[in-house]
Amino acid sequence: MGATRNLLLLGGSGNLGREVVRAFAKRWRVASVDVRANNEAAKSITLSTSRPVSEQANEIRNQLTSFSPRFDAVISVAGGFTMENIKDQSLFANYERMSQVNVVSSLLAAHLASELLVSNGLLVLTGAAGVFKEGHPAMIAYSLAKASVHTLARTLAKSSELPSGTSVVTILPEVMDTPENRAAMPNEDFNKWVKTDKVAALLRQWAEGENRPSSGSFLQLKTVDLKLVAELK
């Protein structure tokens, strides 16, 4: 049996994050970072988003000191979604929230990967299929936040500051099958939605070197005939 591998997961207490922890737990040691604890992870770090981002980064570093000095994969599945148009009074609050949960989490993942990822490791960010090519006028805050994540991913793929051989991969999920989405869209065909457990299993395969996409890849995740398909964009 090979040496145990380590995963640093941002967003480990969300719907997808919990599935990622479960998918990796048997073969990996997982350190989960989120605003809520995930007791299924080997290490759970709870952050306060009211603190400056630099302090959040330092808190993660400090708590990882006794866990592992290096990680084989860093994955960010933290995120959130809002809908609003340019006239809505909620626009500014939503923009701040979307920036925090989507952009800041991705920046933290990338920054920590530059320090903690092993050579030939994997860095995964979470974009969005629906606003990949252009934004949506009814989801301005979300569009702006995810556009920033997509830009960050393209920039990182060209960076020389990540450990040698790092693969930067961005997933672009279509609608995820979550309790919140089912409640918001009860009349949709849930069989067409992306299953979180299947995404988690795919991420583990990539982390273990199986069919890992090349660095700089953007993969649209969709369900076709009840199967998860990762389509290169």
Give catalytic residues, as residue numbers: 142
Give the integer Cα–Cα distance in Å for 219 and 231: 5
Instruction: Report yes or no: 140 and 97 within 8 Å, Cβ to Cβ.
Output: no
DSSP 8-state assignment for residue 49: T
What is the secondary structure of 130-153 as a DSSP string? GGSSS--TTBHHHHHHHHHHHHHH
E-assigned strands of the chain? 5-10, 28-34, 43-46, 71-76, 117-126, 167-173, 217-224, 227-232
Strand partners, 126: 171
In a 10 Å sphere around its CB, with 0-12 CB exposed, 13-18 middle and 19+ buried, how is residue 88 labelled? Answer: middle
What count of other Cβ atoms lies within 10 Å of the Cβ of residue 161? 11
Cα torsion angle, 188, 128, 227, 77, sign: negative
Instruction: Report yes or no: 132 and 218 within 8 Å, Cβ to Cβ.
Output: yes
